[in-house]
Structure 1
Amino acid sequence: MELGAIIITGNNQPKNSGQISRSNGTRSTRNPSTLSASSYPIAFWDLLGHSVLERTIERLRRFGVELISVFNNQESVASISHGEPWEKAVIEHARNGVERILLITLGAYSEFHVDDLMRFHIENACRVTNVSDGQEPLGITLVESKCVANHNTPLRNRLTALVSCSCNYEYTGFLNRLASPADYRQLVQDALAGHCDIKPIGKEIQPGIWIAECVRIPRSVRVLGPCYVGAHTRIRPGALICPGTALERQCEIDCGTIVENSTILPSTYLGPGLHVSHSLISGSRLIHLYRNLDVELGDTGLLGWTQNPASLRVLAALGSLFTFAGAPGMRVPTPSRVPAALDYIRGNGYLG
């Protein structure tokens, strides 16, 4: 087998950033690039239906790479002392007849061509080829298996020793380093605008409007492209989905809510009558990218998880103000007003 690939995740996360944590507290004016870490890196986040990790694997397979292993490099001290799993996998690949191994530390999103990289590597008789954008490495290395097989020294030490004789392949194509939530949002916008190879998972029902399977959108909802609505997402009557918005899978957008130029991550619920703009939301956690706000709104009942939507509690408290349910085909009116808590939140600059 000529080429195998090993993808390493977890050890190239943004510095104290890139994660939507669910910590307590109300408001923070920290820059979103300094958010506290959570349990998974940006490469795992859904992005128009598939994560960057999934898209990287799909891209490698299109180039004919069949042997692909994925490792999360967040191991215990004990396991590291005996060699990390990905290092052992590299050696096993080499011993099993793989001629060259592509090591990808998954942080940045790039669209490098494996064929071009292989051609450069072979024509220059390189033992190790590192990919960079001309300024910084991209965490992509192509190594000859004979350089790593049958050695007793740790693999990372051998790769370091080979730096002096390694080749540099300069990549000049599309690149997003995914170093922050703002980078992630930029990648979403670039994908919706067709500036990169990322294609939304779903059907383009109108130019720039992508809808995945099992989506529920009433006729009173306005959807303006470019935008994306993920699988099993429900949008309630009177809502407005504006350009640049991505609603990932299993979300629920309640009555009369406006979502503008934002990403709503999977299984997130947005309450009625909100105006969310230039934001990234996961559950009850909101990051406003323009105002540098990082806020937890779980106690307000306006944001949350679809498994236990807060709208039921809100509607129970405000049942005398508007009708939510009715006979089939009955138009459901947009709420005439929203909870008093929302006035406080808007007044403090959390939304809109």
Structure 2
Amino acid sequence: MKRATTIFVFMLSVCAVAYAQQHPCFEVTIDQLQKHDDCVDIAYKVTIHTSEVSDCESVLLDFYLEKNEHKIDFKPILVNGQSRNRTYKRGVALHNLQRNYANADVISATDPDTEIVYTDCIPHEEWMNGSVLYVKQAVWGCGSQLTEKIFALKTLTVPPMKLVDPVVTVVEIVPEPQPQPRVKNGVAYLEFPVGRSVLDLSIGKNLQEWNKIIGEIRQIEKDEDARIISVEIIGYASPEGTYALNERLSRERAKALSNQILLFGNLSLSPDLVRSSSVAEDWDGLVKLLEERPLPYQHEIMRIIENIGIFDGREKAIMELAHGNVYRTLLKEYFPKLRRTEYRITYMGK
């Protein structure tokens, strides 16, 4: 049983090392980030070098001011390579989809180099003192692999006010109970071509299962009192075949569904909220199925699972029971139920 590695997000300050790790298609110049009277003046310029974007790349730049649990988002920028931009436009045209980032500036590699200037004056709040202006860089590579990096651009420093004869008042603060996240779980049975991880909605009941997942997410998004924290996709494989193949397929199939949700789900989810993991051989699931629906040689199967390791001949030992009849029953009636995709939507709401 093995889970896919979680995407690491590196918090880097703007320096020579951070610049060397950012995508070469953009540069950010901070002209202003300071408090003026009751406002915070923000001004920065983003220079887009379209020739630095590969044909099948997409680069999303999210700008935001953040401190602790407070955050203000600014207008994002989406830069598409030439091939990726055609796919993006085709998806919008053929599937009648709204852009996931409807307010973003969308730039294609066929456009000339561009400078985008952002200026604003936002009402000052106390939490903004010491807040940091960040840019999060999300890059979809040619293999639809997502990498993310976060760069700190500038800190808002507000000099402390001088108080004359301060009066100290002791106030007893009774903390309010904090709301707890809510979770909605579901299971989908998606079919993939043998040995492949391409999600084809025209196969079997894939479209029905896809609509079920998207429908659950949309129902939460429509609730004005709800805010989605994360969408987790967990791919499961049954034990037959080699562990290496099962591990790769379960991981890539879970990732394929995650990418499909982001690109074609017509949702407002940020890419960092959708995560995927996998279980290469779901022996725990098999044990649970056997407890719910016993079959002959039940005790022998349980003994083998408990005492023989996955890489020490567990599957072979089960194959040898009753001249292979037990294993054939497992293949036909039990293993298909293990090949599934579980999804977990975590959100805050009333």
What TM-score, normalized to structure 2?
A: 0.25
What TM-score, normalized to structure 1?
A: 0.25
The structure with the greater share of residues assigned to helix is 2
Larger Rg computed on CA atoms:
2
